[in-house]
């Protein structure tokens, strides 16, 4: 199971064992080693969350992680886990397969919410630089939460698509209007934003950190940029991805279908079913 709630998961695990079932838990965020990318109360929440997960592991038969980076951090934070562990990439229903892709591509897209760990200040610098250095580029932010922690005043080249509930269809429409997704994350184990972008054939320009290095293939499905790089380097990578969109888009779709489409679930099914049995 995935995280329902850190407190409820343990109750479910104990109930599963009482009824003779195997408890399989997906640890999407096993351990944030460097918490400086987060602000305020969230740093303390992460510590509490990891402590709760540690207790939950006592009732977990099989732990699932979704990247090598997540696996390494899991082993570092929970070295005493005596169950079994398996690496399964994030898998998604291919809802883009039956959709038309004939919409106009006009945006460089940032997928929200705007939180410190996603590097919003880098986005702001790139958007402002583009106003003079690449005025043909248009940017959009897709977010379910109000856009805070970022100064985008005067950025006439930016559109904010803000809606508390965004359906899959609405989200797909916005992504299909994009020729590049920008993801300047400071902290990431695996990214659903990257995988979803690939589903719609959109290359990603992301930061050269953590799990990003496992899913972004430089020059094929996007580009990796160092976090301390100047805005000019981010903008250059975006322009390169836009220029090579046709070939990169095909690569993104192929990568998604071969590795992250739910049709790959059967590759891991036997390991999950039997992996937790002692």
- State whether 80 and 165 are in the same domain: no
**Residue of higher predicted confidence among 100 and 106:** 106
Task: For residue 43, give every residue at least 6 positions away whose Cβ sits within 8 Å of its Cβ, in sequence order, or none.
Answer: 35
- State whether 186 and 124 are in the same domain: yes
- Of 147, 146, 151, 139, which is closest to residue 242 (Cα–Cα)? 139
Give the CA angle between residues 273, 211, 250 to the nearest 5°: 90
Residue 4: pLDDT band by 50, 70, 90 thresholds?
Answer: very low
- State whether 141 and 70 are in the same domain: no
**Residue of higher predicted confidence among 19 and 216:** 216
The two three-digit tokens of residue 258, written as one number: 């071969």
Task: For residue 271, give every residue at least 6 positions away whose Cβ sits within 8 Å of its Cβ, in sequence order, or none.
Answer: 86
Tokens 């509490």 sit on residue: 48
Domain-located, residue 265: yes
- State whether 16 and 74 are in the same domain: yes
First to last CA, the chain: 19
List, in sequence order, every beta strand (DSSP E) within 102-197. 107-111, 139-143, 158-162, 178-183
| Average confidence score pLDDT of the chain | 87
The two three-digit tokens of residue 95, written as one number: 């809802």
Per-residue pLDDT reduced to its tens digit, 12-29:
777 777 777 778 888 888
Calpha distance 190→206 (Å, rounded) = 12
Length of the chain: 278
- Of 156, 167, 160, which is closest to residue 146 (Cα–Cα)? 160
Q: Is the pLDDT of residue 115 over 90?
A: no
CATH number for the domain spanning 214: value is 3.40.50.2000
- Of 84, 46, 90, which is closest to residue 69 (Cα–Cα)? 90
- State whether 74 and 167 are in the same domain: no
Q: Are 238 and 248 in contact (CB under 8 A)?
A: no
List, in sequence order, every beta strand (DSSP E) within 163-255. 178-183, 204-207, 222-225
Per-residue pLDDT reduced to its tens digit, 135-158:
999 999 999 888 776 888 889 999
Q: What is the per-residue pLDDT for 275? A: 61
- State whether 52 and 127 are in the same domain: no
The two three-digit tokens of residue 98, written as one number: 């039956």
Per-residue pLDDT reduced to its tens digit, 241-250:
999 999 999 9
- State whether 167 and 246 are in the same domain: yes
- State whether 125 and 50 are in the same domain: no
- State whether 37 and 124 are in the same domain: no
The two three-digit tokens of residue 46, written as one number: 């992460």
- Of 243, 206, 239, which is closest to residue 130 (Cα–Cα)? 239
Residues of the chain with pLDDT > 70: what percent? 94
Domain-located, residue 25: yes
The whole-angstrom distance between residue 195's C-alpha and the CA centroid of its chain comes to 7
Query: Could you check whether the bond before residue 57 is cis, i.e. omega within 30 degrees of 0?
Result: no
Domain-located, residue 97: no
Global pTM reads 0.88
Give the CA angle between residues 159, 187, 43 to the nearest 5°: 100
Q: Is the pLDDT of residue 11 over 80?
A: no
Calpha distance 165→88 (Å, rounded) = 28
For residue 167, the 8-state DSSP code is -
Q: Are 70 and 190 in contact (CB under 8 A)?
A: yes
- State whether 224 and 144 are in the same domain: yes
- State whether 30 and 158 are in the same domain: no
Q: Is the pLDDT of residue 218 over 70?
A: yes
- State whether 136 and 250 are in the same domain: yes
Q: Which domain holds residue 236?
A: 107-260
Q: What is the per-residue pLDDT for 1? A: 44
**C-alpha dihedral over 82, 259, 189, 48, to 10 degrees?**
-50
- Across 51-55, 98-102, 135-139, 172-176, which has the greatest mean pLDDT? 135-139
């Amino acid at each position: 199971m995935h995280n329902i709630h850190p407190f409820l998961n343990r109750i479910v695990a104990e109930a599963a064992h009482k009824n003779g079932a195997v408890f399989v838990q997906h640890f999407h965020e096993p351990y944030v080693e460097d918490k400086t990318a987060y602000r305020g109360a969230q740093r303390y929440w992460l510590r509490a969350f990891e402590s709760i997960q540690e207790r939950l592991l006592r009732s977990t038969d099989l732990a699932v992680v979704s990247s090598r980076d997540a696996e390494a951090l899991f082993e570092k934070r929970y070295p005493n886990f005596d169950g079994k562990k398996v690496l399964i990439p994030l898998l998604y229903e291919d809802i883009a397969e039956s959709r038309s892709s004939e919409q106009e591509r006009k945006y460089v897209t940032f997928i929200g919410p705007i939180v410190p760990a996603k590097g919003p200040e880098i986005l702001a610098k790139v958007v402002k630089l583009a106003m003079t250095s690449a005025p043909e580029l248009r940017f959009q932010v897709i977010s379910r939460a109000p856009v805070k922690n970022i100064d985008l005043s005067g950025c006439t080249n930016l559109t904010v698509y803000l809606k508390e509930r965004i359906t899959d269809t609405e989200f797909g429409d916005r992504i299909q209007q994009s020729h590049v997704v920008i993801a300047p994350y400071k902290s990431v184990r695996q990214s659903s934003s990257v995988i979803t972008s690939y589903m719609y054939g959109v290359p990603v320009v992301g930061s050269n950190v953590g799990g990003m290095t496992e899913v972004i293939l430089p020059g094929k499905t996007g580009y990796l940029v160092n976090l301390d790089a100047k805005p000019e380097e981010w903008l250059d990578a975006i322009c390169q991805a836009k220029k090579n969109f046709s070939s990169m888009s095909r690569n993104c779709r192929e990568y998604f279908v071969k590795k992250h489409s739910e049709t790959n679930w059967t590759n891991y099914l036997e390991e999950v079913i039997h992996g937790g049995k002692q």
